[in-house]
Homo-oligomer: A and B are copies of this chain.
Amino acid sequence: MRRLLLDRFIPYRLSVLTNKVSGAIARRYSERFGLSIPEWRVMAVLGETPGLSAREVAARTAMDKVQVSRAVASLIAARRVARTPDGDDGRVGHLTLTRAGQAVYDQIVPLALGLEKTFLAALSREERAILDGLLTKLTRQAQCLNRGGQESADGRTGAAGP
């Protein structure tokens, strides 16, 4: 059996890589705009699709509803996001960027793309395309891990998804 050298272990290497990248991005957004990663994500989706509800934001950002709730609360306090109640459903609020929020959005997008470009500069165009495909495949596969996907899946995985 292969010896488990930690630095050959793909999940570990993925984790280290992600922490470096996310940390670098988080630091910059925190310094320049006072945004946390969850806040940044909320602004990103609201910039793309105004009027989403908190639940819809959560669905698009792979965050849970608590995280979204807190990020939204903080963004509203900073007057970067506004909530307008839904006419039909009193529970739902529609979220949009304020003018100030839009101004921030217009800055964070190029900064994000610039950072991504720097990051991907280590790869050729072809490699970037391959990476894209691998991420897609692996992300799909990762679902299996969360259900009993391997060996003695001892049933305790309460996630009985559709």
Contacts and interface: CB of A to CB of B under 8 A. Distances in A.
A11 B116 contact: yes
A66 interface: no
Interface stretch (A69-77, A81-89, A91-99, A141-149): A141-149
A114 B23 CA distance: 29
B135 A13 contact: yes
Size band of the interface chain A makes with B:
35 or more
Tallying the copies of this chain within the complex gives 2
B158 A110 contact: yes
A123 B146 CA distance: 18
Given A17-B18, A23-B146, A118-B141, 6 more contacts: A6-B61, A10-B135, A11-B25, A21-B142, A32-B154, A115-B150
